[in-house]
Structure 1
């Protein structure tokens, strides 16, 4: 507990992040029922809001891509969405698992590829992670770190290749770059779900992680940079304070460039693959997204992978209704103690 306290004090997380209901109980309830409840509340809540905000009917969705790294029940999370919204029988649905915090960009890239084949349709992308089943209850320090960082969260994104939607779309999707260094043993083993010496399951983070992340990011930047640099906005995966610090230094970013990432980590914690969407929502809510602005979303995850995508604002973008910052934006940015 002393170790966990020290990590939490230095984590950059605030006092309002979300932990699922089952982990507020003593003893804690790490059940399938609790895990399903958490995930349904998150993803169905996000999708409900998306349909309300866009006015798109569930029957118009032709492609569905859902990603969750460590919680993959049967029926799948994608099927839960199909059942809830009665999506059509010829839906192209995909459920991505085990791909870490960078899977949100992978899901977007997969949806883009499918939209290039299937014309005049919508793709729904849902990114989340599950905390209920993944709280580690042992004493291995390398596994306890994830308890201090990961919190409940999720996002739903709608993509369209229908020409008339350009008039109301927020962004144009420009580029994706995906880098996977899993052929290297150190990359492969830097974040591993496994049992500890007492048989308790957790995710081990190796000491090679910072080095592996920096090397993989360098490859991604070398590929993407010549295509689209410079950028007005950055959405760096809120994986932890050290990660944001390292990217701020190595990319020579200003405090304003990393503000969305730091504030997302403070308010919501590490929400895995959905964190880059909380950051984009922060930039929108602050009224900073102007027509023509380019945004670079950068996500890193186990394997090891560094994935990025670039968007161009098609107009001055306002915050969506019921965005996650609606009730707390006036508090941010906040000073984070070093």
Structure 2
């Protein structure tokens, strides 16, 4: 079915190209008509007033249907990323030292080989020494109470929203939709209720709390907000993306669960969307496409990222050995759907010709990989790890500057789960690279297994927001890593 859809999109593009010469010929023929021919045509039309009237009514109805039924624009007014306080910065040495002391305190977990594995993964992770973790996790043993977890999440969420509201000057009572996503921390009352209570949002608020959807959940939340903004007129949607470390640090010796400890760090983002036509002038971006791909029907995909207990009953997130192949297959499906929506006609035709040759002439021919740089100006690849960035850089034919936002975000902030793609977008703005008309592609992976994409068009030469997370360190990047 996916191949049929791709083929259909490219076939339509081919049809549009062949239609243009035909229209040019008709225009040329019309220009060569003499006065007598025009009079004959006019006489013929006068004899068919009923036909003309019907055609006119159909034409007017068609235009009316198009303007009424077309999707309403969804504007990204502004967004804000949480910048953790300096005292939460944790160097690799501090993290290893804390883990080592915790293992020593609990002799049942003492395993030098697991600690060595942790150190090696951390060294090759691509993270710098300014990433942040909750202070409670540096305690021995780490504090993982519900109280500590709530404090971490409140600090992240409220800081991001406070800064967003200050920058946009939006009254919280004008927000009609609120969506909060957090993968593994979902207390009662929900995080969305926490936001409603803190900012005293109105009682008829459309409130949603998305849980268990992994690192790609921010785009899922954006897609949901987009659909809701098509229904609810003249309102704002607040999307909040976060994750919690306090309750989810793995204290054990299962290597497949230790990897997440090496990569995940504190972070969060708040995004304000609008369907108000008056907000276009002050907004940063227009949302043009969201593409969601879910391969969870396949058992390998479903089980490759799982939160579970290890042999000692310690809870953690396990990554299976199939995750690389699963991710590659899911990304390929997502790109195959997104490509026809954003690629120029020339790239569609090249793909179509290669597809036809492979299908009917030579099955050994490799699929043509479209040049997405002809359609996309900026890439925000989820920083799930150095290997993932390397692989997508290679597969999509990207240059080092294209993946610079991803590598820099991984180095400075680590993997902040679903909010990571917003730190990357903020990086591009801080570098002064986002010009009016530029397209930015956010692509993220998540458990389930999912790959989700969002494409934005800049409505102006975008300047970094006040209190951007890169405000005090952008001059240091990019950094060169010897790995």
Q: TM-score, normalised by structure 1?
A: 0.99
Out of 107, 111, 116, the position equivalent to 2:221 is 107
Structure-1 residue corresponding to 2:109: none
Q: How does 1:7-156 map to 2 (within 5 A)?
A: 7-156=121-270
Moved over 3 A (4+): none
Matched, 1:289 2:434: yes
Rounded to whole Å, the distance in 2 between the matches of 1:6 and 1:14 is 14
> Which of the two has higher C-alpha Rg?
2
Other-structure match for 2:333: 219
State the alpha-carbon separation in 2 of the partners of residues 331 and 31 from structure 1. Answer: 36
Deviation at 1:327, TM superposition (A): 1.1
> Which residue is equivalent to 2:112?
none
**Whole-angstrom distance in 2 between the partners of 1:232 and 1:201:** 41
User: Is the deviation greater in 323-332 or in 141-150?
Assistant: 323-332
Give, in whole Å, the separation in 2 of the partners of 1:295 and 1:307.
14
Q: 1:26 Cα shift?
A: 1.6
What is the aligned partner in structure 2 of residue 330 from structure 1? 475
Shift of 1:337: 1.6
Match of 2:89 in 1: none
Partner of 2:451: 306
Kindly indicate which of the two structures has a greater share of residues assigned to strand.
Answer: 1
What is the aligned partner in structure 1 of residue 295 from structure 2?
Answer: 181
Where is the helix percentage greater, Structure 1 or Structure 2?
2
- The number of equivalent residue pairs is 338
Aligned partner of 1:248 in structure 2 is 393
**1:234-245 alignment, distance < 5 Å:** 234-245=379-390
1-structure distance, mates of 2:168, 2:294: 34
Instruction: Give the Cα separation in 2 of the matches to 1:261 and 1:23.
Output: 26
1:23-82 deviations in whole A, cap 9, x for unaligned? 021221000010000000001000000000001010110000000000000011000100
1:268 matched to 2:413? The reply is yes
Structure 2 residues not aligned, in runs of 5+: 1-114, 344-374
Q: RMSD over aligned Cα, in angstroms?
A: 0.5
- Correspondent of 2:461 among 302, 311, 316: 316
Q: Distance in 1 between matches of 2:278 and 2:188?
A: 37
CA distance in 2, matches of 1:89, 1:127: 22
Offset, 1:330: 1.1
For residues 324 and 313 of structure 1, what CA distance do their matches in structure 2 show?
Answer: 20
Consecutive unaligned residues of structure 1, counting only runs of 5 or more, are: none
Structure 2 length-normalised TM:
0.70
Distance across 1 between alignment mates of 2:176 and 2:408: 35
